[in-house]
């Protein structure tokens, strides 16, 4: 009687392995064979062998196809549905378009995307867009690979092997007080629309609110008696008729900030003017619907040109408010609370360079602050100390 050849083999290092014949792929007609090793005992190897050959060819093919899924398929079928439940809707909408940057990988199998491919992609990205944007997109790509590892499609994350491009600290752009004064001189506020434009820029400059926080603001959020504005939401605007509110960026962003007397006066003036033209709960609105970021950008562009000052981005109005407070020697902790930063490191990391002369100013304030008046006789009567103990008297006295 013929004996069955034992499929379990032993390697030189003492571990066991097997090579299993799994049949023929019905699509390609090729034999399906798989070698599996690393077992510490023959028993474990034999058990794994029986489990593998006991499965049908269809299951083996399906498992193999799953392990070799292409990037685009994984992105659409696995990653995006999962990612949608992990982040805010507006974040999901902005990040889902990242696929356009991953054309190089679309038809590559996930487990075949190696570090050298990532390096090539990274080099191309930095030639097309800024380093900071490349960093952002690569972080998204890394998250895709991490999810693939969790689901068993990959064994390692090639972006972590390559590393991200070096972080470049962007120069904070802003308007000075004088530049902003030049801009607001270009508005004719007897015209309702220009009144709206003036108030929008002024409000953003003088409060430091994020654009999403400001456009979400309702009149109920303004307390004219207490002189405060409550910030507890941000606006997600898809279109004038399709928008929703979401929670602020961080817990610290949920805040109440005090307003000065002039701010309350201008708010009151704007509320009266707005009520004559339209009925709305939105503070920043001239037509009853929320204000879009691109509209604010057009206002900045037009009136910066009229004033002869450099054009800034919408978010730079927030930077302008911070720089204004710094010019007034405001405490960084107060600025942190007003801007809604999560921690003081964010505030100092962003605006620390705007304090160029603070150390010199502190030195001037410290000069002569503490009065020096020393004793007229030796009340301590110190004979020696740990350093001079044991030395000759003349040495100790010299010490």
pLDDT of amino acid 54: 60
User: Is residue 336, in this structure, part of any structural domain at all?
Assistant: no
User: Is residue 342, in this structure, part of any structural domain at all?
Assistant: no
User: Is residue 354, in this structure, part of any structural domain at all?
Assistant: no
CATH number for the domain harbouring residue 91: 1.10.150
Q: Are residues 211 and 155 in the same domain?
A: no
User: Is residue 349, in this structure, part of any structural domain at all?
Assistant: no
Q: How far apart are CA 72 and CA 74, in angstroms?
A: 5
Q: Are residues 113 and 55 in the same domain?
A: no
For residues 280 and 210, is the Cβ–Cβ distance under 8 A?
Answer: no
Q: Are residues 85 and 55 in the same domain?
A: no
Q: Are residues 116 and 256 in the same domain?
A: no
User: Is residue 320, in this structure, part of any structural domain at all?
Assistant: yes
Q: Are residues 52 and 104 in the same domain?
A: no
Residue 165 has pLDDT above 70, yes or no: yes
Q: Are residues 95 and 137 in the same domain?
A: yes
Q: How far apart are CA 197 and CA 205, in angstroms?
A: 12
Q: Are residues 125 and 79 in the same domain?
A: yes
Average pLDDT over residues 140-152: 90
Q: How far apart are CA 81 and CA 101, in angstroms?
A: 19
Q: Are residues 149 and 253 in the same domain?
A: no
Q: Are residues 185 and 85 in the same domain?
A: no
Residue 297: give the domain boundaries. 177-327
- Residue at a domain's end among 20, 35, 65: 65
- Residue at a domain's end among 65, 90, 107: 65
Q: How far apart are CA 206 and CA 165, in angstroms?
A: 36
List all residues 6 or more positions away from 388 whose beta carbon is below 8 Å from its beta carbon. Answer: 395, 396, 399
Q: How far apart are CA 49 and CA 6, in angstroms?
A: 11
Q: How far apart are CA 280 and CA 256, in angstroms?
A: 22
pLDDT digits (tens, 9 = 90+) for 225-243: 999 999 999 887 777 677 7
Q: How far apart are CA 381 and CA 384, in angstroms?
A: 9
Per DSSP, 352 falls in state G
User: Is residue 379, in this structure, part of any structural domain at all?
Assistant: no
Place of tokens 């510490």: 40
Number of domains in the chain: 3
pLDDT digits (tens, 9 = 90+) for 303-357: 999 999 999 999 999 888 988 888 888 888 888 888 888 777 777 777 766 655 5
User: Is residue 393, in this structure, part of any structural domain at all?
Assistant: no
| Residue bearing the bigger pLDDT, 23 or 78 | 78
Model confidence at 361, pLDDT cuts 50, 70, 90, reads low
CATH number for the domain harbouring residue 280: 1.10.443.10
Q: Are residues 217 and 323 in the same domain?
A: yes
For residues 253 and 216, is the Cβ–Cβ distance under 8 A?
Answer: no
Backbone angle region of 198, left / alpha / beta, with phi > 0 → left and psi within -120 to 50 → alpha: alpha
- Residue at a domain's end among 327, 343, 377: 327
Q: Are residues 52 and 121 in the same domain?
A: no
Q: Percentage helix, strand, coil, to 5, in the chain?
A: 55, 10, 35
pLDDT of amino acid 359: 53
User: Is residue 233, in this structure, part of any structural domain at all?
Assistant: yes
pLDDT of amino acid 242: 73
Query: Interhelix angle for 293-307 vs 192-207, to 10°?
Result: 100
Q: Are residues 151 and 181 in the same domain?
A: no
């Amino acid at each position: 009687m013929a004996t069955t050849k034992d499929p379990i083999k032993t390697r030189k290092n003492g571990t066991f392995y097997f090579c299993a014949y799994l049949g023929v792929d019905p699509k390609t007609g090729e034999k399906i064979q798989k070698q599996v090793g690393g077992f510490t005992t023959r028993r474990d190897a034999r058990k794994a062998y029986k489990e593998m050959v006991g499965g049908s060819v269809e299951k083996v093919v399906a498992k193999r196809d799953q392990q070799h899924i292409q990037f685009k398929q994984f992105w659409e079928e696995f990653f995006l549905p999962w990612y949608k439940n992990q982040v805010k809707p507006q974040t999901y909408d902005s990040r889902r378009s990242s696929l356009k940057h991953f054309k190089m990988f679309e038809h590559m199998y996930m487990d075949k995307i190696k570090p050298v491919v990532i390096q090539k992609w990274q080099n191309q990205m930095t030639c097309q867009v800024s380093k900071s944007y490349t960093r952002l997109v690569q972080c998204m790509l890394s998250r895709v690979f991490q999810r693939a590892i969790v689901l068993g499609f990959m064994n390692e994350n090639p972006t972590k092997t390559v590393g991200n491009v070096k972080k470049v600290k962007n120069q904070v752009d802003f308007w000075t007080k004088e530049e902003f004064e030049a801009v607001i001189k270009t508005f004719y506020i007897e015209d309702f629309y220009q009144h709206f434009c003036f108030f929008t820029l002024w409000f953003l400059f003088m409060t430091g609110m994020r654009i999403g926080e400001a456009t979400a603001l309702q009149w109920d959020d303004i307390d004219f008696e207490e002189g405060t504005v409550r910030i507890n939401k941000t606006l997600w605007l898809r279109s004038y008729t399709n928008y929703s509110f979401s929670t602020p960026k961080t817990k610290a962003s949920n805040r109440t900030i005090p307003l000065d007397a002039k701010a309350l006066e201008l708010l009151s003036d704007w509320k009266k003017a707005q009520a004559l033209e339209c009925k709305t709960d939105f503070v920043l609105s001239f037509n009853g619907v929320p204000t879009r970021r691109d509209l604010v950008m057009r206002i900045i562009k037009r009136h910066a040109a009229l004033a002869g000052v450099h054009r800034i981005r919408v978010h730079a109005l927030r930077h302008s408010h911070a720089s204004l407070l710094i010019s007034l020697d405001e405490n960084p902790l107060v600025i942190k609370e007003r801007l809604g930063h999560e921690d003081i490191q964010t505030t100092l990391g962003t605006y620390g360079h705007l304090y160029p002369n603070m150390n010199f100013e502190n030195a001037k304030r410290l000069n002569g602050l503490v009065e020096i008046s020393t004793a007229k006789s030796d009340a301590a009567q110190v004979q020696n100390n740990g350093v001079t103990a044991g030395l000759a008297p003349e040495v100790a006295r010299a010490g």
